[in-house]
Amino acid sequence: MDIEAVFNQFNHLGSYDRFEKIQSGHINTTYRILTKEKNQPDFVLQKINSSVFKKIPQLIQNKVLVTEFLKAKASSGQTIIQFIPCKSGNFYFYEPDLGYWNLSTYLPNSNVFLKAPNTAIAMEAGKLFGSFFYDLNDFDADKLFETIPMFHDMEYRLDLFNQAVNQADQSRVESAGSCISAIEKNQQNMLVLNRLRNNGTLPLRVTHNDTKLSNALFTEEDKGLAVIDLDTLMPGLVHYDFGDSVRTICSSAEEDEKDLSKVYFLAENFSAFTTGFLSACGSILSKEEKRNLVLGAKYMVFIMGLRFLTDYLNFDTYFTIRYPEHNLVRAKNQFALLKSMQLHQDKMNSMVDKLIN
């Protein structure tokens, strides 16, 4: 693949020096493009995974619409990433053999964390994701294409899991035993959020749907800088964004830590994150939304365990894996985190109660 040739399909002002592969995502292939000029930005060039995303021009349209909207607004002062058009005029480059690509500016002097080093970062992440969510409050959700239908729908995810169990290789089902039990034990409780969405108790809003900590950029002074990875912007519940952040910010370990004794819930990070998040967007949330935040956090940990396990049972066709058991390790990690969260449930509830009453 000639990265330089793809980069040069876009209308940027820099000249290509070299690329570095960015390893962190599980779906797309991402490169940092370094430019020769000191006064030109570096860029992020991304090949969008077309087996996961079926309508890529619409996906890119979502990202462009939202970033333009946010740039015009920027009430929170956060930096908004900018997409660069291609020479054809589209915001993507496509060729049948090369697939779909998009280019955005790279934000210099920014840091990413895979787990939260302290409660100050947890609080900053809360403010950053909360402001992003707040700023999109008056963006018309009907303008957004649903990039992956039913992405966080628990019933749908449970159906896919049950199909996978029925078709899976017996040895994989056996090694997934402890996770399968955790799913059976918790699934009824998890369906509550779906029900509250379906009966209109919880409103659909514009959500990011992938608010893990590594999708937040920080300045060198550890202040929240920008939210990245806008591929899954879709209508959703606030709980999806709140919960996915809690999943990563309030875990003692990365999502693929194998040693489960190192995986536990950090209540102090939960308190800091929730304080930051609600300070930024609490004013637009209803009582019902706030009351269900703790359930939202458990929901997102559970759904990620479920999705990783389903992919393991399907012989790893969705998430990038680095070794054969990687998805099973991720699933076990998420169910260990869920168990630890359940031990902190009362504490979490009283922390949220204090913040919302």
Decide: is 232 part of the binding site for ligand GN1 (CB under 6 A). Answer: yes
Decide: is 257 part of the binding site for ligand GN1 (CB under 6 A). Answer: no
- 355 makes contact, choosing from Mg ion, ligand GN1, none, with CB < 5 to 8 Å by partner type, with none
Q: Which is nearer to ligand GN1, 26 or 291 (CB)?
A: 26
Binds ligand GN1 by CB under 6 A, chosen from 63, 212, 239, 290: 212
Residue type, position 231, single letter: D
Decide: is 210 part of the binding site for Mg ion (CB under 5 A). Answer: yes
Q: Which is nearer to Mg ion, 113 or 264 (CB)?
A: 113
Q: Are 90 and 169 in contact (CB under 8 A)?
A: no
The CA distance from 248 to 215, in Å, is: 10
Smallest gap from residue 315 Cβ to ligand GN1 (A):
17
Q: Using CB atoms, what's the residue nearest to ligand GN1?
A: 27
Binds Mg ion by CB under 5 A, chosen from 229, 244, 256, 289: 229
The CA distance from 148 to 231, in Å, is: 9
Decide: is 326 part of the binding site for ligand GN1 (CB under 6 A). Answer: no
Decide: is 26 part of the binding site for ligand GN1 (CB under 6 A). Answer: yes
The CA distance from 157 to 307, in Å, is: 7
Q: Which is nearer to ligand GN1, 152 or 172 (CB)?
A: 152
Decide: is 3 part of the binding site for ligand GN1 (CB under 6 A). Answer: no
Binds ligand GN1 by CB under 6 A, chosen from 124, 229, 241, 289: 229
Binding span for ligand GN1 by CB under 6 A among 6-14, 21-29, 35-43, 287-295? 21-29
The CA distance from 216 to 124, in Å, is: 10
Smallest gap from residue 196 Cβ to ligand GN1 (A):
21
Contacts of 298 (CB under 8 A, 6+ apart): 186, 189, 190, 243, 338, 341, 342
Decide: is 27 part of the binding site for ligand GN1 (CB under 6 A). Answer: yes
Residue type, position 63, single letter: K
Which residue has 């949330």 as its token pair? Answer: 285
Decide: is 251 part of the binding site for ligand GN1 (CB under 6 A). Answer: no
Q: Note the residue count of the chain.
A: 357
Give the helix/strand (H/E) hosting 45: strand 43-48
Decide: is 289 part of the binding site for Mg ion (CB under 5 A). Answer: no
Q: Are 204 and 234 in contact (CB under 8 A)?
A: no
Query: Angle at CA 88, nearest 5°, toward 4 and 24?
Result: 45
Per rule CB under 5 A, count of chain residues that contact Mg ion: 2
Give the helix/strand (H/E) hosting 169: none
Q: Residue 126 forms beta bridges with which residues?
A: none
The pattern of x and - marking residues 46 through 85 that bind ligand GN1 according to CB under 6 A reads: ------x---------------------------------
Q: How far is CA 67 from CA 31, 107, 158, 204, 335, in A?
A: 20, 15, 33, 20, 35
Q: Which is nearer to ligand GN1, 8 or 30 (CB)?
A: 30
Smallest gap from residue 180 Cβ to Mg ion (A):
26
Nearest one of 306, 64, 307, 111 to 213, comparing CA atoms = 111
Using CB under 6 A, list all residues that contact ligand GN1.
25-27, 52, 210, 212, 229, 232, 255, 304
